[in-house]
Amino acid sequence: MSRRLAAVILGLAGIGAVTSAYLAYAHLRLHRSLGFKSLCSISERWSCDAVALSPWSWFAGMPVAAHGLWFYLLVVVLALAALSRWNLPFPRSVAAVTLAASVFSVAVSLALASISLLALDAFCPLCLGLYSINLALLLCAWAAVRRTGETGLSALRAEWRFWRRRQGRALLVAGGAALPLLLGMVAWPSGFSPVASICAVASSERDQAGRGTRPIKLDVYLDFQCPHCKQANRALSSIRSRSKVLVRHRQFPLDSKCNPLLSRQYHPGACLQAAAAICAEGLGRGDEFRVALFEGGARTESGLVALAASVGAPDDGFRACLHSDETKRRLTDDIEQGIRLGVEGTPALFVHERRYLGPVDPAAFSCLEQR
C-alpha cells in the first residue's frame, strides 16, 4: 500500500474513531443523565438522540457506536502498519484486510441507513458522516489493492488461501483483534463512574428517617423497548423479595400516544405495552410478565394477551383491563409523576424521589440485599 493511501486511510479512520467515541458517550449519557442532549440533535427527524433511544442502537451488549469505535481503531492499526513499513508476512495483507473490513462496514452502513429510513423515520447526522467515511475507506482500500496488479476479489481469495495454510497464526491475529471488542462487551456499562452510589443514597435517606423505620423505596421508570431497561429489570430481580427494599415499577413509555413529553413515537406500541404491564401486575403476574415482555417484545393487543396467558394471567380479565379507565388513570399518573421528577429517558431510578444516575447492573444493587 502506498504511503499516500495509507495516510488518507489513517485520517479517515481517525475521524471515524473520534466520532464513534462521542456517539458512544452520548448514548450512555442520553440513557442515564437527566436532560442530556447530544450535539447532533438538530430536529425531530435529524437527531442522534432519536436513533440512540431506539432498540436498533444496541447490539451484543454495547451501543452500535462502541462497535464502530473498535472497527475504526482496527483500521488505524492497519494504516499505521502500512505507514511504518512493518515486516508483515504477506505484502498484500494490509490492503486486503482493510478492503474486507471496509466491505463489511459499508454493508452494515446500508442496513443501518435502511433502518433509519424505514423503521425510525429519523436520521443521526453523525452516523451519516460515518457511513460516508466507510465508503471512502472502501474506495481507498480498493485502490490500494488494484495497485498490486490484482482485482479486489482475486486479492481476497489469495489472502484467504494464505491464512488458511497458517491457521494457528490466523487465530492468534484474529483473537488479538477481537479481544478489545470482547472486553468491551463484558465491561459495558459497569465501567462508567456513577454520580452517586445507590447504597449511599439509600443510607442517607434512611438515616434521615431513622435506620430501620421504613423500607428503602426504589422507583424505576421503564420502557419495554429500551435495552437498558431490560438490563435494569434483570439487575433488580435479586432484591425484589427483600422486605427492606420496596421496588415500585413505573411506566414511562417513549411513545407520544400517551406521553405528552414527546412529540413523536420513538417506540411504537410502548403505550399498549405499559398498559399491559399494569394489568399483569394487578393480576398478580407483574414480575413474570415484565421478564416475558422484555424477552418477547410483543407490541400488539393479541400478542400481549397471548404473552399474559403464557405467564398465567386470565385472558378475559387481562383483555378487559387493557382498555379500562383505571388502567389509563394509572398509566397517566406514572407518566405525570415521571415528568414532575424530570424523567426524560429510561431507565430512570429514584430512591425516595432522589435521582440515581449510576450504573444499572447487579453489582450496583447487591449492597441493598443485606439492608
> Rounded distance, CA 140 to CA 117, Å?
27
* Numbers of helices and strands, H then E, in the chain: 15, 6
Q: Supply the pLDDT for residue 96.
A: 79
In our burial notation (b when 16+ CB lie closer than 10 A, e otherwise), range 34-43 reads: eeeebebbee
Whether pLDDT at 191 is above 50: no
Look at residue 200 in the predicted model and tell me its pLDDT: 63
Q: What distance lies between CA 180 and its chain's CA centroid?
A: 18
Evaluated on CA atoms 295, 296, 299, 304, the torsion sign reads: negative
Within a 13 Å sphere around the CA of 175, how many CA atoms are in the beta-carbon half? 6
Q: Are 241 and 233 in contact (CB under 8 A)?
A: no
- Average pLDDT over all residues of the chain: 80
CA dist., res. 164 & res. 263, Å (int): 54
Domains of the chain in start order, with CATH, are 3-187 (1.20.1440.130), 198-368 (3.40.30.10)
Nearest of 339, 263, 359, 341 to residue 41 by alpha carbon:
263
Question: Which sign does the torsion angle of CA 23, 26, 27, 28 carry?
Answer: positive
- DSSP calls for 138-158: HHHHHHHHHTTTS-HHHHHHH
Between strands 216-222 and 245-251, the pairing is parallel
pLDDT confidence of 274, banded at 50, 70, 90?
A: very high
Cell, residue 195: 454520580
**Displacement of CA 18 from its chain's centroid (Å):** 19
For the segment 228-239, the average pLDDT, to the nearest whole number, is 78
Report the alpha-carbon distance of residue 346 to residue 278 in Å, rounded. 17
340-359 confidence digits (pLDDT tens): 888 877 888 888 777 776 55
Q: Is the pLDDT reported for residue 362 higher than 80?
A: no
Can you tell me whether residue 248 is helix, strand or coil?
Answer: strand
Q: What is the C-alpha R_g of the chain?
A: 25
**pLDDT tens-digit profile of 4-50?**
888 999 999 999 999 999 999 988 877 665 456 788 878 767 888 87
- Strand partners for 47: 41
Per residue in 270-280, is it b (16+ CB within 10 Å) or e — as a string?
bbbbbbbbbbb
Is omega for the bond preceding 347 within 30 degrees of 0, making it cis?
yes
Task: Say if strands 62-63 and 354-356 run parallel, antiparallel, or are unpaired.
Answer: unpaired
pLDDT bucket at 195, cuts 50 / 70 / 90: very low
Q: Are the CB atoms for 88 and 80 separated by under 8 Å?
A: no
The three grid cell numbers given for residue 188, joined into one nine-digit string: 459495558
pLDDT of 202 above 70: no
Taking the C-alpha atoms of residue 308 and residue 287, their distance in angstroms, rounded to an integer, is 11
More confident residue, 283 or 121: 283
What confidence score (pLDDT) does residue 211 get? 52
Tell me the per-residue pLDDT of 56-108, one tens digit each, with 9 for 90 and over.
Answer: 887 877 889 999 999 999 899 888 888 876 555 444 577 878 888 899 999 99
Percent of the chain surpassing pLDDT 70:
73
